[in-house]
């Protein structure tokens, strides 16, 4: 009996240790390094006024991390973490009808009063099926950081699903309609994740490059439907760079059912005021069982169980769930607000979204900073009363005011309590010399895959 018990305890400990390793997985042969601004290497890495981090190849990342932390030449060094898309199986066992999130009223308001700006959205994900009939009119040139080319073709389906929820063609009698189907939006697919043993994963370094790329190329919103459990200063700096250019960063809170106030989850836990962390609600108005929450770290909820959206090959997924897709929903609503009021700062857009959520007493006390689910119509009504002219250093206006956008190529150096009524047409020193070689700068497309 003792031997059996010991064996069981051993298996349990091994399983727990394996889980911890998986939660903090990172490349054993790469690290992310940022030199201090006074160091000669830093000047060599500058892009304009920016000193950005870089990825270097090493023999042993753990030993390199320990060695570099004591170097006076280095501002910081961190692992090149593995990031995973925050989705759930298509057959998540849930059924029901969505309650109202004001979409139909918001669409009617747009139809009656019109919109004034093309909204450019960077979907940093697994790419997109750009030939999908519901999406092909939305897609503008992007980049594939996994293959170092300008064809971000989706090989997992995750990015295509995200794009469909944001803006699939509506009112065409087939398939589904995205949240922002009736305004002028452009989706820039930036691929940093790919298929990996049944999962959709990518490297931290590629995610950081994609954020800088999006900011360098004039987007209004970044959609980041993915996450991981370890803090990264490199990613935080990239998000702050986007903030300095007036870009909203809308990201998923995670699918572990955890309290993010107590357990780390990034990028949703970054405190930058351009970040909106989104969790998922089910059709009956409560928090989805899998959804992360946190009064201090999760800002709002949106539909995230049993959604219909696009998949590669021109088809549709009839049942997708996860905070990834709740995030896409909020990105769509933010696009509606920006399209009507392009003069609003990112902070004002964020305020219009988070001060008008639908409260639900069943979960708001333990769930969210704003207390409830996104309400598209209420957000549009509130943006009319916001100050559209007051701008400060910390209240940067959204990028771009023109009706269309001209995007440079990568080679040029650009480094759910709600009702979805959108189905069926409704719509990544010296010591360097000894132990490593520079692989690629974070601000430019890399030259080979990071395995």
CATH at residue 256: 3.40.50.200
Least confident of 32-41, 216-225, 367-376, 388-397: 388-397
**Which residue segment(s) compose the domain that 353 sits in?**
85-412
How many C-beta atoms surround the C-beta of residue 382 within 10 A?
18
Give the pLDDT of residue 4. 44
Give the pLDDT of residue 148. 94
Give how many domains the chain has, as a whole number: 1
The catalytic position among 27, 39, 125, 321 is 125
Checking if the pLDDT of 153 tops 90, the result is yes
Q: What is the mean pLDDT of residues 437-443?
A: 36
Q: What is the mean pLDDT of residues 412-427?
A: 33
Give the pLDDT of residue 43. 52
Cα–Cα distance between 136 and 158 in angstroms, integer? Answer: 16
Is 299 annotated in the active site?
Answer: no
Pick 342 or 2 by higher pLDDT.
Answer: 342
Give the pLDDT of residue 423. 33
Checking if the pLDDT of 337 tops 70, the result is yes
Q: What is the mean pLDDT of residues 50-56?
A: 85
The catalytic position among 39, 41, 158, 265 is 158
Is 241 annotated in the active site?
Answer: no
- Contact (CB, 8 A) for 282 and 416: yes
Checking if the pLDDT of 222 tops 80, the result is yes
Q: What is the mean pLDDT of residues 27-44?
A: 75
Checking if the pLDDT of 417 tops 90, the result is no
- Within a domain: residue 66? no
Give the pLDDT of residue 416. 31
- Within a domain: residue 23? no
- Within a domain: residue 98? yes
Q: What is the pTM of this model?
A: 0.77
Give the pLDDT of residue 80. 87
pLDDT, tens only, 254-294: 999 999 999 999 999 999 999 999 999 887 778 899 999 99
Is 348 annotated in the active site?
Answer: no
pLDDT, tens only, 126-146: 999 999 999 999 999 999 999
Cα–Cα distance between 279 and 291 in angstroms, integer? Answer: 6
Pick 431 or 219 by higher pLDDT.
Answer: 219
Cα distances from 60 to residues 67, 193, 208, 384, in angstroms, run 11, 24, 22, 55
Q: What is the mean pLDDT of residues 413-434?
A: 33
- Within a domain: residue 180? yes
How many C-beta atoms surround the C-beta of residue 426 within 10 A?
16
Asked if the peptide bond before residue 191 counts as cis, ω within 30 degrees of 0, the response is: no
- Within a domain: residue 443? no
- Within a domain: residue 3? no
The catalytic position among 225, 324, 370, 422 is 324
- Within a domain: residue 44? no
- Within a domain: residue 135? yes
């Amino acid at each position: 009996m003792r031997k059996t018990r010991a064996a069981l305890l051993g298996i349990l400990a091994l399983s727990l240790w394996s889980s911890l390793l998986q939660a903090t997985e990172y490349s054993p042969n790469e690290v992310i390094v940022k030199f201090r601004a006074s160091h000669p290497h830093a000047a060599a890495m500058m892009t304009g006024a920016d000193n950005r981090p870089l990825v270097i190849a090493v023999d042993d990342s753990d030993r390199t991390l320990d060695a570099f932390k004591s170097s006076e030449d280095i501002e910081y060094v961190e692992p090149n973490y593995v990031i995973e898309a925050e989705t759930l199986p298509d057959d998540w066992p849930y059924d029901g009808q969505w309650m109202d999130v004001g979409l139909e009223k918001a669409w009617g308001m747009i139809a009656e009063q019109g919109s004034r700006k093309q909204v450019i959205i960077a979907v940093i994900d697994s790419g997109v099926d750009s030939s999908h009939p519901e999406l092909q009119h939305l897609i503008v040139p992007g980049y594939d950081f996994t293959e170092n080319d300008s064809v971000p073709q989706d090989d997992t389906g995750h990015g295509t699903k995200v794009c469909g929820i944001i803006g699939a063609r509506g009112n065409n009698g087939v398939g589904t309609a995205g949240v922002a189907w009736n305004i002028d939006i452009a989706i820039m697919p930036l691929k940093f994740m790919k298929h990996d043993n049944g999962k959709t994963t990518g490297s931290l370094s590629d995610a950081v490059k994609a954020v800088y790329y999006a900011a360098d190329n004039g987007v209004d919103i970044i959609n980041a439907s993915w996450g991981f459990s370890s803090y990264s200063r490199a990613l935080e700096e990239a998000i702050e760079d986007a903030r300095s250019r007036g870009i909203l960063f809308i990201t998923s809170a995670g699918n572990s059912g955890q309290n993010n106030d107590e357990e780390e989850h990034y990028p949703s836990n970054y405190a930058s005021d351009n970040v909106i962390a989104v969790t998922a609600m089910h059709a009956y108005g409560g928090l989805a069982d899998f959804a992360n929450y946190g009064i201090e770290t999760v800002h709002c909820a949106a539909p995230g169980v049993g959604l219909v959206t696009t998949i590669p090959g021109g088809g549709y997924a009839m049942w997708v769930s996860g905070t990834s897709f709740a995030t896409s929903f909020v990105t769509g609503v933010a696009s509606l607000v920006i399209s009507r009021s392009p003069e609003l700062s990112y902070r004002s857009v964020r305020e219009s979204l988070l001060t008008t959520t639908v409260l639900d007493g069943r979960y708001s006390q333990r769930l969210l900073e704003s207390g409830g689910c996104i309400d598209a119509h209420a957000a549009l009504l509130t943006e009319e009363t916001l100050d559209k002219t007051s701008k400060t250093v910390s209240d940067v206006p959204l990028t771009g005011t023109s009706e269309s956008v001209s995007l440079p190529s990568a080679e040029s150096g650009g480094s759910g309590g709600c009702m979805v009524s959108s189905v069926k047409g409704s719509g990544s020193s010296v010591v360097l010399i000894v132990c490593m070689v520079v692989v690629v700068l974070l601000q430019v497309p890399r030259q080979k895959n990071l395995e």
